[in-house]
Structure 1
Amino acid sequence: MRKQSIIRVYILLALFFFLGLVFKRKRKENDLNVPAFDVSFGDEFGNGMGPREFSYDQLATATKNFTDEEKLGEGGFGAVYKGFMRDSNTNVAVKRSSSRSEQGIKEYASEVKIISQLRHKNLVKLIGWSHEKELLLAYEFMPSGSLDSHLFNGRSLLPSEIRYKIVHGLASALFYLHEEGDFCVLHRDIKASNIMLDSTFNAKLGDFGLARLVDHEKGSQTTTLAGTRGYIAPECHRTGKASKESDVYSFGIVALEIACGRRSIERRYDEDQASLVDWVWKAHGDQMLLVVVDKKLSTNFNVKEMECLLLVGLWCAHPSPNMRPSIRQAIQVLNFEASLPNLPNKMPTPSYDDIPNTSIIQTSELGSLSITIPR
């Protein structure tokens, strides 16, 4: 009799355990559709001016059920597919998240909330979103693809004037994010693959999954290390602190990649050329700066512009954050409205002193900044 009672207890415990697992799994699935998730987006999308909510079926139909034939690319976040929206007669790029983890949902929510508040010609426009069955984001379609596909994968040879135009566009986007809004937006993942190009090769910065909003007065945020190897500012490895200066560092790396036509880290090169920053800085110290220019350009480039681009790239990628320019200062040099930076011949040893408050420019101090491309 006692044995039967013990068996009943074990059966009940097993039943409760099973029901607990079912409930937990159900709750995790419902997290993709919790009302709070919608509330956190609601007002931003209710005015009809911003992105719209799509059903899963709408985006699946647009991409032919996410067929491989429509796949534009794939990264750590998941895959991107080309889609066609019949109701608006437009092409879109649909990002399909590969993760339903807490971190994946957090990045998805961050991207929707932040980019929906941004309006700038050099930012990829968010068309809509869906988290009905999967985490999906629909963006304006960029016919010329990503910058890295041209620089590193041979999609086309970008002429030097187009490269300079792309750097200006990226700088304009970063100035808007850092200085022109109610909050400073730290992108935290500026890199060639996150820079998209439209049909006339205008640059548009995308992928705001790692972006964070901070007060202009603070200008930085302590967090876990984020970004992509080769583009992360050296002080971030030590402090985990993202800042305007760390975004500027990533911008500098991209500027050097555009000028040199190679990635920031290339193991196939000799040790003295494996790091792009080290290699360019050595060429600068040897008074042979232009030797690093992309060989595919031959001599078909504007020497003045290319020298400016390389020096601004080094300045922005300075090892010490308090020696980097603001993005506004970088733009003034790129526009030839200010003199070229006076950089030491040898790359300095990093200094991680606190960034002075003077490096944080208040929004009220800035007017609109026009960006002209020298001919």
Structure 2
Amino acid sequence: MTRAGSMWTPSLCLRVVILALAVLHDQAHALGTSFSYSMFDGDANHETVNTLGDTTYNRTNKAYSLQGLADWAKCVRRSGEETCNSCGRLLYKHPVRMKDAKGAASSFSTNFTIAFQSSNLTYCGDGMVFFFTPSNADTSGTERASYWNLAGGRMCAFDTKENQTDFRVFAVTFDSYRNDKYNPDFDVSDGNIAVILNKNKLNASNLCLGSANITNCNFFCGNKGDFSASIDYNSTDLKLRVQFWKGSIQDKSSSTMLTDLTASHVNLANAFLKNDMFVGFSGSTFGMGLNGPNDWQGKFYEQHYIKAWEFTGGFDTSEPKSQAGLIAGIVSAVGAGIGLFCLCVCVGMKRRKRYLCHRRLAQMTTPEFEGNPGAMTYSEVRMLTKNFSPSERISSGAFGDVYKGTLPSGKILAVKRIKEGNEQGEESFLAEATSLRQIRHRNLLQLRAWSESKEGLVLVYDYMSNGSLDMWLYPSPKWTDFEPLSWPIRRSILAGVAAGLQYLHEGWVQCVLHRDIKASNIMLDENFEARLGDFGLARLVDHQKVEKTTLLAGTLGYMAPEMQHTGRATKETDLFAFGILVLEVVCGRKPLNTNPDCNLGDYVLLDSVWRAHEAGNILSVADPWILKSKPDYVREQSIEYSDEYEDYGARNYLNPEDKQSLIASILKIGLLCCLPDPSERPPMRQVNQWFQDSEEGSINLPKLSSTKPEPYQVSWSKYMSSGEATPTTQSNTFTGMGSSQSSSFAQGSFQTSMSDIFKSGR
């Protein structure tokens, strides 16, 4: 992003002055009409707009409805037909001089916000049009019956006698009804925008493209909210541009264009019947009687609302000034403009920089930004965090501090600043930005933005109001009235992490190895839903080359035993770390007990759980709190979900025996994930499926060995002969037996256990 302070150069200032001269010259000879309605006030606007036909003011919407007729008895209809047509126009009350004395057309620019509303979601029509008309006369009595009604299918803007030689009109149509019976080539769909000049369609856009039915997609049917359009005509270049987007006029810069039409060699002079024309809107619809042609207590199919309107164009109609007075006025205006411009540049440079920061931060709440993380400037990051105020700091880590950042909208984000001069931190930054910018999953911490500059490295995430999982497993003594996590919440957290990890391993185009799964990297939102975060050690690895990642990384206690020997991260090493996390969450104990007073056998959590399993009492290591906490519930599949239970569906509470069996099964999942032989560990998709099954109250697990398997064995011979420095784990079929059966690692053994590591201080 270009810094605001570097935008103003001498050459640019000179170009601005020249442009100002040109603009002043053009304004002295050209544009004479300008008005703007950000919304409509029926009383205040009465003197400046004309409402014709069925047009009425809607105070609720602060808008004009082109189809506001409420009395069906006054509805004009064709004899014998069961339909009733309605026409309405909204025109600017004063004429606009669109042609000068020489017959040249004027440039113009207009923006407006409109809305289509219909009670029928599958059948609507006819649409509305922006146009110029030579008359703003009332349309009552005979004229209404003969002209407007017959032209109802043409949005009440086009004469039915199209074969007449003097038929001239310029209009931009917003068509909601496809008249395939009379003119299928002209009406491409029931959702199209077209530029009409006299009898020709210069350009058109089909809004139904991309829908299942490209001719009838009901684009405007129902209540789709506000749409806006801009129409710009340059009489010098004879170019016309029409843009159309969802939302208000102010949303244009941040919206995706639904239509962007252009037309060249457009001479509107022949379309204007008079020099002075009236500008505005026309619309039509029709309704159906409930009980045939004699009962008109029906309802119109469609209403068209004009909610906001801006217009600039036409020639100046005031008396011409003398040449000397005109020159003097231009010179004075230019001198004053240059002085004011220089003053504004000097005073406004810093303000502009701050404004750009504020605007960019405000855009971070838009749907487009939500789905597309991007770079930020360091100034914007400082504004988010109040210049990294100590009062905004949430936590500190090995690579940097985390701050709370607040957007102008009030939304809170988490801002991670990498410590200065930390090369490992810079590598962490690049890995995390590369991984997270393209990955989307409900159980992965969402990256919103980043900043990489000489001033520092920054990552911006969603803010997790309940902090990290380790804060809840091992609360601070300062916490008062603390209640440990219940069993349903713990199980839900583990299920979320399993789903997120499976997506990293198998759900994306590349396999992403997290390499540092632990409780402090599991973040919890306001509903205690888990988000796997801190991709500081993540690496993108092609699915076919998983074994080639060779940088040793992780946290002691969560590292798979083979990593001490091979130094390589794989899916299986991530799975081992997840298994340790499962045991940690269920037992409420850290993987390594650093308390010097603890028993020698309790140093390593994994060993403690295996001993309890061997003794046939695996629940003895479970956190006592979850055994006595509130009953767990499962989904009852035979009962249809209802609002009574919100999103949980019908609840079927587990009895204490089934709950204990479920806890024991999840402890066994942790042991299966931590089997010493990587080839014996289950794939992540199987683990995720087990946690999904746990929502039903039972899990069908493979048989787990009744005794702890032998330590991991590694073969060296083939790597010595091939010249490779370290062996590579192979992906054998998962059996879940956990025994020391034969495998591809037949020769040699690596006998170091986690207890040995801890006792030796390694």
Indicate whether the TM-score tops 0.5. yes
With over 3 angstroms needed to count, the CA separation of the structure-2 counterparts of 1:222 and 1:352, relative to structure 1, is: farther
With over 3 angstroms needed to count, the CA separation of the structure-2 counterparts of 1:334 and 1:304, relative to structure 1, is: farther
Q: Partner residue of 1:203?
A: 530
Which residues of structure 2 form unaligned runs of 5+? 1-367, 632-658, 715-727, 735-762
Q: Tell me the TM-score normalized by structure 2.
A: 0.40
CA shift at 1:189, angstroms?
Answer: 0.5
State whether residues 265 and 276 of structure 1, in contact with CA within 8 Å, keep that contact through their aligned partners in structure 2: yes
State whether residues 312 and 341 of structure 1, in contact with CA within 8 Å, keep that contact through their aligned partners in structure 2: no
Q: Does 1:149 align with 2:471?
A: yes
Tell me the distance in 1 between the aligned counterparts of 2:487 and 2:622: 10
Tell me the distance in 2 between the aligned counterparts of 1:219 and 1:255: 24
CA shift at 1:260, angstroms?
Answer: 0.5
CA shift at 1:299, angstroms?
Answer: 2.1
Tell me the distance in 2 between the aligned counterparts of 1:74 and 1:295: 31
Q: 2:487 aligns with which of 160, 169, 191?
A: 160
Give 1:110's aligned amino acid. A
Q: Over alpha carbons, which structure has the higher Rg? A: 2
State whether residues 662 and 699 of structure 2, in contact with CA within 8 Å, keep that contact through their aligned partners in structure 1: no
State whether residues 431 and 537 of structure 2, in contact with CA within 8 Å, keep that contact through their aligned partners in structure 1: yes
With over 3 angstroms needed to count, the CA separation of the structure-2 counterparts of 1:341 and 1:99, relative to structure 1, is: farther
Q: Partner residue of 1:25?
A: none
Q: Partner residue of 1:189?
A: 516
Moved more, 217-226 or 288-297: 217-226
Aligned residue runs from structure 1 range 273-284, under 5 A: 273-284=602-613
Aligned residue runs from structure 1 range 301-320, under 5 A: 302-320=659-677
CA shift at 1:350, angstroms?
Answer: 2.2
CA shift at 1:292, angstroms?
Answer: 0.8
Q: Partner residue of 2:579?
A: 252
Name the SS of the counterpart of 1:135 in structure 2.
Answer: strand
Name the SS of the counterpart of 1:219 in structure 2.
Answer: helix
State whether residues 163 and 259 of structure 1, in contact with CA within 8 Å, keep that contact through their aligned partners in structure 2: yes
Tell me the distance in 2 between the aligned counterparts of 1:211 and 1:191: 13
Q: 1:287 aligns with which of 598, 603, 616?
A: 616
Q: 1:296 aligns with which of 606, 610, 625?
A: 625
CA shift at 1:339, angstroms?
Answer: 2.0
For residues 254-300 of structure 1, the C-alpha deviation after alignment (integer angstroms, 9 at most, x for no partner) is 11110011110012221111100000010011011111111333522
The runs of at least 4 aligned residues of structure 1 exceeding 6 Å deviation read none
Query: RMSD of aligned C-alpha atoms?
Result: 1.9
Q: Partner residue of 1:76?
A: 398
Name the SS of the counterpart of 2:456 in structure 1.
Answer: coil
Q: Does 1:347 align with 2:674?
A: no
CA shift at 1:359, angstroms?
Answer: 5.3
CA shift at 1:172, angstroms?
Answer: 0.2
Aligned sequence identity (%):
42
Aligned residue runs from structure 1 range 113-124, under 5 A: 113-124=434-445
Tell me the distance in 1 between the aligned counterparts of 2:505 and 2:387: 38
Q: Does 1:108 align with 2:108?
A: no
Name the SS of the counterpart of 1:296 in structure 2.
Answer: helix
For residues 17-76 of structure 1, the C-alpha deviation after alignment (integer angstroms, 9 at most, x for no partner) is xxxxxxxxxxxxxxxxxxxxxxxxxxxxxx954212222222222222222222211111
Q: Partner residue of 1:323?
A: 680
Q: Which has the higher helix share?
A: 1
Give 1:356's aligned amino acid. Q
CA shift at 1:358, angstroms?
Answer: 4.4
Name the SS of the counterpart of 2:388 in structure 1.
Answer: coil
Q: Does 1:85 align with 2:446?
A: no
CA shift at 1:326, angstroms?
Answer: 0.7
Give 1:280's aligned amino acid. V
CA shift at 1:103, angstroms?
Answer: 2.7
Q: Partner residue of 1:136?
A: 458
Q: 1:356 aligns with which of 727, 730, 733?
A: 730
With over 3 angstroms needed to count, the CA separation of the structure-2 counterparts of 1:118 and 1:352, relative to structure 1, is: farther
Aligned residue runs from structure 1 range 162-181, under 5 A: 162-181=489-508
Q: Partner residue of 2:265?
A: none
Give 1:122's aligned amino acid. N
State whether residues 77 and 99 of structure 1, in contact with CA within 8 Å, keep that contact through their aligned partners in structure 2: no
Give 1:105's aligned amino acid. E
Q: Does 1:60 align with 2:387?
A: no
Give the number of equivalent residue pairs.
313
Give 2:609's aligned amino acid. V
Tell me the distance in 2 between the aligned counterparts of 1:343 and 1:63: 51
